[in-house]
């Protein structure tokens, strides 16, 4: 049928050339899909999605099958039954299309090198989520564990009051992550307080039952009422409990009420009013005897007024008073598993703690147990428990956009409901669990044999029972409100991505007052047509999902099927601003690119006085420390220029105190050389001769830029107190000689008055010693054609460099 519709559509599009063969037809359709970006990929058993996309002109790109995805490990209900010899769903699906739709296989081969624009997978990990382009669509979001896992929903839903004005205890049964010590202690306190309140419930209910029994016996035998009041203690076969149990239960409930009303703020933690560990253990043991073993409390009628008064306060303060019951049953679930795996119902504290303690040596993921209060008073249909699977769709997280499906379905258990038997076949309605059991023989025949109803069928049932308005007025609006609250809580935790969407399945259980209680939310809900109900609804919800995420993308007024918009967060209105009003005020701070430790113990005068060619051995602890600091500073410098040359001084020349110092005014020859402390010399070109004339433009009085420069940031002699004083001379000239004495300029060769700036090139020797950018050359030095290595030669008061 599908192939015929495709050929019919293709023939209409190719009416101008009816003689095209099959290959040309498929090639034309494949090229058209590539141009329109209609390439999709599916990983999982979704034949409805595949067929719907092909009808819309999409072409599938085959993805390699993975072993972890072939086991149908998806969400809540694994419908595949490999134990009965059924073939794998993926292989059945592939073989089916290989036989009936070979034209699609040819088109898939033609687009095998194209990037899909639409992905529909069981799990997000089936594709590389991080490498997706912006325009590629995926049916999953990242980081949704805050509400799709049991441990995430348990811990994060408590923060709901920070997002909306709502109490999560009004629609979500209280839950604890018992794998954590703090959560474990809070659960133990909750269990004990629930046991204490159940004792008070027993006293009130026992009195009511006793009065009914007395009225029945009065009509039959007319016995004394006073004797019948104490009849509960007259039977020797029934275990009798002391009235002290009621006193402890009342005391515990009053402390519990005080905490809920915040009256314990100024009370010490180890207050004598609270029950100690021994009293709690005694209360819990007697509670087991009272509820599970049929024991009675003597003179319980004397505490009726006190118990009723306390219970009234508890009912007003506890929003979950209607689901607690009297058996104190809790359901234990693995924090990250689905399909009902590992779930069990227990009613004794020591059994629950023992079950959790056995998982301490298990992997972290398997040891995250969650314990949740079991709803002991659910709404029953023909004395059978059921739950509701409700779908909703999230198409955007910013702004939050949620779609709610108008149709849902009910799942029944195979056995009649009873609190005396905690078997999974009675209390867990997952189809993956109930499919392993046969329907009970005493079950009502009006229940479906496949254990499913549509919500429409359930509304008809309520109409016959006189509760026709309960679905539209109570059940349906309450489920929408619970979904909205949960999505608001999780909005900040989910990784929002445009062009992504996800379909979720929420499970609800109705109380006796028709109030829905959220149990859990599943990602990738099952779409397997296991029953006539799921065959109809699952196929319909998949087609409607494509209408919302694809058709509505181009037409906002298109048909969305049975999806209705639950909530679309309004966009935030940003205040207008003018870019011309933006300005930056202030001054920039230029930091030194290289940090070098300054040399403080180096004395130029001492080096000038030395006459030896080699330095005298010098041993000083301070000097060694300074050398190490210089080396460390050099290692931190990033020398971006590979031609940069680093000079370092190892030891200073030691001054000989027995010799006097006499410095000539005009140097004539070199007296020695040494290596200076760390500074960087960056060459601009190779210099063969040490002739200063080529570096000076005499006509313009400017220095050639192709000259050796010293980096100011790396020069360690920028701040040196010893350079600020005048250099000593051999003899003091007379006043006239002092004023008229002239010396040759070391840069341009012209003469100028000593200690004054040269009028021709504006250079003077003192500037060199204080960190000038240029190192002037001495014209009277002996020229050298080429000298290997780099030396800095000391004169009487001028530095000179040979290369």
Question: 707-759 pLDDT, tens per residue?
Answer: 444 433 334 444 444 344 444 444 444 444 444 556 666 556 666 554 455 65
Q: Which of 227-236, 273-282, 393-402, 598-607 has the highest mean pLDDT?
A: 393-402
Which H helix or E strand runs over 296? strand 296-297
What local confidence, expressed as pLDDT, does residue 627 receive? 58
Answer whether residue 349 shows pLDDT above 80: yes
The encoded tokens of residue 98 equal: 């290989």
The pLDDT score that the predictor gives to residue 607 is 52
Range of weakest confidence among 254-263, 660-669, 781-790: 781-790
How far is the C-alpha of 56 from the C-alpha of 67, rounded, in Å? 30
**More confidently predicted of 754 and 250:** 250
Examine the pLDDT at 803 and tell me if it is beyond 70.
no
Q: Using an 8 Å Cβ cutoff, are 166 and 266 in contact? A: no
The mean pLDDT value for 450-474 works out to 96
Domains along the chain? 19-64+101-137 (no CATH), 144-174+378-568 (3.30.470.20), 181-212+239-317 (no CATH)
Neighbouring CB atoms inside 10 A of 252's CB total 23
Q: What does the DSSP 8-state code read for residue 641?
A: -
Structure confidence at residue 299 (pLDDT): 86
Q: Tally the residues of the chain.
A: 803
Task: For residues 117 and 132, give the distance between their C-alpha atoms in angstroms, rounded to a whole number.
Answer: 9
Q: In the chain, what percentage of residues exceed pLDDT 70?
A: 58
Q: Contact 96/77 with Cβ under 8 angstroms?
A: no
DSSP string, 480-492: HHHHHHHHHHHTT
Sign, CA torsion 109/114/118/120? positive
- For the chain, give the percent of residues with pLDDT over 90: 46
Angle between helices 47-55 and 532-546 in degrees, nearest 10: 40
Rounded to whole angstroms, what are the CA distances from 565 to 152, 484, 731? 26, 11, 103
Note the pLDDT of residue 355. 87
End-to-end alpha carbon distance in the chain: 91
pLDDT for the residue 706: 46
pLDDT confidence of 782, banded at 50, 70, 90? very low
Q: Which of 84-93, 332-341, 728-737 has the lowest mean pLDDT?
A: 84-93
Instruction: Provide the pLDDT for residue 60.
Output: 95
- Predicted confidence at residue 51, as pLDDT, reads 95
Among 8-17, 37-46, 585-594, 622-631, which stretch is predicted with the lowest mean pLDDT? 8-17
* The predicted structure's pLDDT at residue 97: 39
607 phi/psi in degrees, rounded to 5 = -70, -35
Can you tell me whether residue 643 is helix, strand or coil?
coil
Return the pLDDT at 206. 80
Which range among 211-220, 410-419, 469-478, 539-548 shows the weakest confidence by mean pLDDT? 211-220
What average pLDDT does the structure give for the chain? 74
> What Rg do the C-alpha atoms of the chain give, in angstroms?
46
The model's pLDDT over 129-181, given as tens digits with 9 standing for 90+, comes to 888 999 999 999 999 999 999 999 999 999 999 999 999 999 999 999 998 99
Instruction: Tell me what pLDDT residue 523 has.
Output: 93
DSSP one-letter string for 96-120: HHHHH-HHHHHHHHHTTTSPPSEEE
Read off the pLDDT band of 94 (50, 70, 90): very low
């Amino acid at each position: 049928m599908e192939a015929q519709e495709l050929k019919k559509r293709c023939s209409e599009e190719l009416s101008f050339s009816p003689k095209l063969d099959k290959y040309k037809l498929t090639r034309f359709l494949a090229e058209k899909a590539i141009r329109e970006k209609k390439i999709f990929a599916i990983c999982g058993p979704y034949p409805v999605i595949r067929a719907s996309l092909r009808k819309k002109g999409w072409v599938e790109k085959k993805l390699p099958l993975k072993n972890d995805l072939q086991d149908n490990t998806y969400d809540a209900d694994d419908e595949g039954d490999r134990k009965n010899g059924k073939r794998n769903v993926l292989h059945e699906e592939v073989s089916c299309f290989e036989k009936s739709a070979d034209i699609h296989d040819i088109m898939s081969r033609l687009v095998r090198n194209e990037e899909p624009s639409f992905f529909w997978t069981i799990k997000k990990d089936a594709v590389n989520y991080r490498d997706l382009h912006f325009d590629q669509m995926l049916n999953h979001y990242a980081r949704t564990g805050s509400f799709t896992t049991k441990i995430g929903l348990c811990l994060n839903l408590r923060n709901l009051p920070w997002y909306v004005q709502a109490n999560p205890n009004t629609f979500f049964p209280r839950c604890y992550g018992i794998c954590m010590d703090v959560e474990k202690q809070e659960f133990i306190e909750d269990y004990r307080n629930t046991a204490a309140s159940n004792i008070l419930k027993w006293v009130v209910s026992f009195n009511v039952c006793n009065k009914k029994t007395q009225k029945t016996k009065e009509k039959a035998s007319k016995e004394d009422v006073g004797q019948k009041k104490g009849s509960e203690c007259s039977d020797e076969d029934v275990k009798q409990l002391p009235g002290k149990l009621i006193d402890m239960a009342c005391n515990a409930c009053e402390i519990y009420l005080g905490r809920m009303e915040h009256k314990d703020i100024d009370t010490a933690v180890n207050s004598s009013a609270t029950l100690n560990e021994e009293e709690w253990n005694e209360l819990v043991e007697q509670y087991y005897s009272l509820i599970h073993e049929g024991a009675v409390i003597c003179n319980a009628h004397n505490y009726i007024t006190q118990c009723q008064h306390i219970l009234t306060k508890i009912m007003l303060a506890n929003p979950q008073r209607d689901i607690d019951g009297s058996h104190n049953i809790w359901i234990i679930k693995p924090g990250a598993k689905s399909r009902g795996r590992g779930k069990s119902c227990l009613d004794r504290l020591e059994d629950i703690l023992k079950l959790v303690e056995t998982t301490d040596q298990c992997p972290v993921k398997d040891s995250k147990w969650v314990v949740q209060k079991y709803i002991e008073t659910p709404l029953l249909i023909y004395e059978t428990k059921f739950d509701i699977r409700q779908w909703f769709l999230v198409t955007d997280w910013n702004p939050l956009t949620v779609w709610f499906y108008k149709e849902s379905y009910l799942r029944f258990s195979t056995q009649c409901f009873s609190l005396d038997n905690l078997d999974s076949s009675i209390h867990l309605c997952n189809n993956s669990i109930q499919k392993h059991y046969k329907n009970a023989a005493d079950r009502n025949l009006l229940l479906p044999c496949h254990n499913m109803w549509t919500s429409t069928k359930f509304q008809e049932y309520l109409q016959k029972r006189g509760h026709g308005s309960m679905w539209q007025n109570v059940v349906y609006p309450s489920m929408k409100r619970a979904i909205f609250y949960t999505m608001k809580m999780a909005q900040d935790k989910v990784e929002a991505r445009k062009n992504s969407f996800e379909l979720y399945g929420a499970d609800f259980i109705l109380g006796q007052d028709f109030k829905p209680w959220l149990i859990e939310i599943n990602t990738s809900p099952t779409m397997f047509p296991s029953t006539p109900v799921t065959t109809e609804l699952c196929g319909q919800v998949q087609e409607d999902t494509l209408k919302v995420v694809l058709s509505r993308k181009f037409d906002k007024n298109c048909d969305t099927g049975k999806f209705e918009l639950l909530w679309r967060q309004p966009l935030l209105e940003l205040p207008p601003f003018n870019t011309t009003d933006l300005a930056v005020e202030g001054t920039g701070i230029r930091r030194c690119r290289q940090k070098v430790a300054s040399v403080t113990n180096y004395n130029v005068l001492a080096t000038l006085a030395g006459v030896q060619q080699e330095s005298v051995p010098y041993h000083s602890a301070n000097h060694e420390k300074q050398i190490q600091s210089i080396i460390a500073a050099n290692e931190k410098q990033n020398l971006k220029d590979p031609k940069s040359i680093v000079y370092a001084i190892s030891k200073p020349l030691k001054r000989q105190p027995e010799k006097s110092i006499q410095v000539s005014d005009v140097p004539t020859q070199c007296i020695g050389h040494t290596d200076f402390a760390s500074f960087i010399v960056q060459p601009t070109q190779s210099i063969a001769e040490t002739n200063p004339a080529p570096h000076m433009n005499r006509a313009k009085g400017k220095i050639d830029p192709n000259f050796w420069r010293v980096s100011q940031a790396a020069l360690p002699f920028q701040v040196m107190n010893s350079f600020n004083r005048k250099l000593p001379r051999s003899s003091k000239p007379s006043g006239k000689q002092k004023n008229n004495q002239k010396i040759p300029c070391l840069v341009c060769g012209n003469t100028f008055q000593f200690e004054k700036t040269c009028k021709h090139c504006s250079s003077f020797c003192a500037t060199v010693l204080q960190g000038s950018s240029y190192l002037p050359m001495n014209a009277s030095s002996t020229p050298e054609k080429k000298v290997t290595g780099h030396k800095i030669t000391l004169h009487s008061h001028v530095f000179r460099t040979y290369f």
